[in-house]
Structure 1
């Protein structure tokens, strides 16, 4: 039986104390623990500079150029992302046309014209300018011009609607490795993936009802079997793996209900782990919102200490550095590793739910946030966590998720040359130039794994918006 979440041990009590700790004092504590020497800082700077100068000379791909021009830091980029997020969920043409009109007709597309070196991006900007002109209401014009404008609008709306849908499809293909696990596994056989491993993630948000949870469970089980049957190496650290979200496996995965659903959720997870163990592939429990962290740790501990999973080191956990509890989470995981006598895969990321964490704290009127409010503070936390992971090679197999050249350079400098093994990770569709160069020239003996989403294009946008916000803010 799982003991009540209200009965924490000493390590969980320490972890709870940092939940909404005073930010400045906690950052001072982290700075003291992670201070680097002047020589190390100089080496890191030079490595990062070398990487940036090298990849700046590479020509950006079409999608990268478009996202760079229309980022979430400008109104036009936000409008396009809102349009994309909503478009695939609207069933009727009239509402789609009204949404497109609302998001495209009233933006200042002209200021982006000629600002990109990409012919595709500039052509897209021209299309948006023309589209906004067609869609804009022109009641102030003469009756003749107003009639012509209305005719063009009526004729143009179906074309614009189709073009926008096609654009969303192109975007999906860039960030999704395949619509099914079979297609995804076929895709990663190409030369583009020859130097990479993958951790496949089944796209989708939290389960809303029992049927959703059952569908996700079956998707995970099918994916594990397909990945395992395709594996050509018996090593969980060097083969493809899968990532799972606990919120997708139960519709009531929330703090107030944990005592009621914990055993049911544990049984589902244990079944998935048994299947992953059979093929000796990795299974990583993804990080989610901060109020779900402690529940995931309770379940993780129970799974790792389960005798039926002994002699399998593929069970992993994602840790978010933007949470004030990140370093304490690693203390907890290290204790589990020692007691279970297993090395644990830990995926260290900066965090993808920052906006919602901030808003939720403000809604509840709480004094302190569960996450750091500045990028530099998150960077310090990431550094402290990285040092902890690398200093305990018997307890951790570190997986460093980053698209930041300076962070990459820091890990290279921190890692002991005789370290038994760690890996870098990047998101599918992001950071390719950095890692293509880095693992070919700077870290030829270090594995890199792609976090590879699998699913329908209609499930892409909530995931993509989180990732763009994460990479923009962190």
Structure 2
């Protein structure tokens, strides 16, 4: 749909107004020194300040689950951080100097490192058992926040692992949904203009339901996935739960979309609206994929939810494409992904009758732009939602919730050791040079730059003035 220049200008002006109001409110909502999160935030802030320290810290966190002894932990600490010792505070340098791996001090250093890494992981991971997960999502609920749960783990490479992944979701739905469904109603979280919204919301990866998820064998992969997916969907319908299909790297995108369309067009699930899928705005194909889903949803006759995100596999996609000599499937510049996110946000709002918008972002510019388009198109607050990551941008989550928006927190659960890879991804995302969250720690940030229109950012970069 073509939008007139006057409408675009009005939306941009409203985006700037809303964005600055949000920024001003967040400036007054920072955690205090008496909160544990303040200390964890400042560890991240320290890591952000020096690229060399950040790399070594994340290398250590990534390898930590494989280290079985205090001695090996201390040895890796020394090996990694001796490379950047000149960048460390004097106390940290002293600790490395006096603590030999097999000494008492070395064991103390290793224990402290493992404890701190675990505490940081607990910030981003909700628990490993249904009881722990229930406690975590109950806390979110008390804060006025909804949730979606995602099981952590490495790639599935055997049928027993695929069975275990399926069983974990069956256990979660059957164990959690009856309990959360007894909570007192919160209209902001539990209803939209179409009616009831399931409280128990889970997100899963189709590739984890099949040990041979291969785009070169679409029919075989689809049948294997659907055999394990259908019981999860039946359990969800029985327990009034919601199921969302996550998107992974580009090679799996088309097969994931095709399986999603096949199973939710089946007679058993065709009339079920409590389902959705992810679309990644860092892919230039996102617009075409949304158009295809719109046409499919109209044929289906029942709407679905779309979680629009920027995308979390940029490094992987660019490295694989370069290594294999393939065209890169993702935008190479962040402003391009941001610009596409804004275009597809408008598309979702214009077609919300069939594609119900769930915007996954911590970027205030992106969210202010969404709020501006919602106002322009008279979209009710309850007919779309904001989604953010567990353990990140808590002030933003609460601010949007208090403003009347439904905020859903993407909440990983599972064993901490398999979850370490997820933790590293979240830390890298949180501390990337272009991350909006990174700027939240920077008191010298230029607000005009933060809220600059993505296309203008691109133009300034091309002109060498950015």
Give the TM-score normalised by the residue count of structure 2: 0.83
Quick check: 1:167 aligned with 2:128?
no
- Is the Cα–Cα contact under 8 Å of residues 283 and 329 in structure 2 kept in the other structure? yes
- Residue matched to 2:400: 438
- Is the Cα–Cα contact under 8 Å of residues 166 and 229 in structure 2 kept in the other structure? no
- Residue matched to 1:19: none
Among 411, 417, 420, the alignment partner of 1:452 is: 411
Shift of residue 362, structure 1, vs aligned partner = 0.4
- Residue matched to 2:47: 70
- Counterpart Cα distance in 2 of 1:209 and 1:35: 56
Shift of residue 460, structure 1, vs aligned partner = 2.4
CA offsets per residue over residues 415-442 of structure 1, 9 Å max, x none? Answer: 13344601000000011111212331xx
Q: Secondary structure at the match of 1:99?
A: helix
Quick check: 1:278 aligned with 2:251?
no
- Residue matched to 1:424: 386
- Is the Cα–Cα contact under 8 Å of residues 302 and 354 in structure 2 kept in the other structure? yes
Quick check: 1:211 aligned with 2:160?
yes
Among 82, 85, 92, the alignment partner of 1:128 is: 92
Q: CA RMSD in A?
A: 2.5
- Counterpart Cα distance in 1 of 2:314 and 2:21: 30
Change (3 A) 1:244 1:33: farther
- Stretch deviating more after TM superposition (322-331 or 89-98): 89-98
- Residue matched to 1:53: 24
- Counterpart Cα distance in 1 of 2:391 and 2:240: 27
Shift of residue 36, structure 1, vs aligned partner = 6.2
Change (3 A) 1:129 1:237: farther
Gaps of 5+ in 2: 32-37, 436-466
1:102-121 equivalences in 2 (<5 Å): 102-108=79-85, 110=87, 113=89
- Counterpart Cα distance in 2 of 1:171 and 1:248: 26
Shift of residue 250, structure 1, vs aligned partner = 1.5
- Counterpart Cα distance in 1 of 2:140 and 2:161: 35
- Is the Cα–Cα contact under 8 Å of residues 320 and 349 in structure 1 kept in the other structure? yes
Among 303, 324, 330, the alignment partner of 1:343 is: 303
Quick check: 1:226 aligned with 2:185?
no
- Counterpart Cα distance in 1 of 2:211 and 2:22: 44
- Counterpart Cα distance in 2 of 1:349 and 1:453: 17
Gaps of 5+ in 1: 1-29, 114-125, 136-149
- Is the Cα–Cα contact under 8 Å of residues 283 and 331 in structure 2 kept in the other structure? yes
Change (3 A) 1:35 1:314: farther
CA offsets per residue over residues 44-99 of structure 1, 9 Å max, x none? Answer: 11211222222223334222221122139611111111101111122344433322
- Is the Cα–Cα contact under 8 Å of residues 197 and 238 in structure 1 kept in the other structure? no
Among 73, 78, 84, the alignment partner of 1:101 is: 78
- Counterpart Cα distance in 1 of 2:262 and 2:196: 20
- Counterpart Cα distance in 2 of 1:225 and 1:239: 13
- Counterpart Cα distance in 2 of 1:385 and 1:467: 24
- Counterpart Cα distance in 2 of 1:41 and 1:455: 41
Alignment coverage as a number of residue pairs: 413
Change (3 A) 1:192 1:75: farther
- Is the Cα–Cα contact under 8 Å of residues 143 and 398 in structure 2 kept in the other structure? no
- Residue matched to 1:189: 138
Shift of residue 109, structure 1, vs aligned partner = 5.9
1:24-423 equivalences in 2 (<5 Å): 37-60=8-31, 61-71=38-48, 74-108=51-85, 110=87, 113=89, 127-134=91-98, 154-190=103-139, 193-230=142-179, 231-232=181-182, 237-366=197-326, 368-415=327-374, 416-419=377-380, 421-423=383-385
CA offsets per residue over residues 432-457 of structure 1, 9 Å max, x none? Answer: 111212331xx31x211000011122
Change (3 A) 1:39 1:463: same
- Counterpart Cα distance in 2 of 1:73 and 1:241: 38
Give the TM-score normalised by the residue count of structure 1: 0.81
- Counterpart Cα distance in 1 of 2:234 and 2:91: 52
- Stretch deviating more after TM superposition (380-389 or 52-61): 52-61
Shift of residue 329, structure 1, vs aligned partner = 1.1
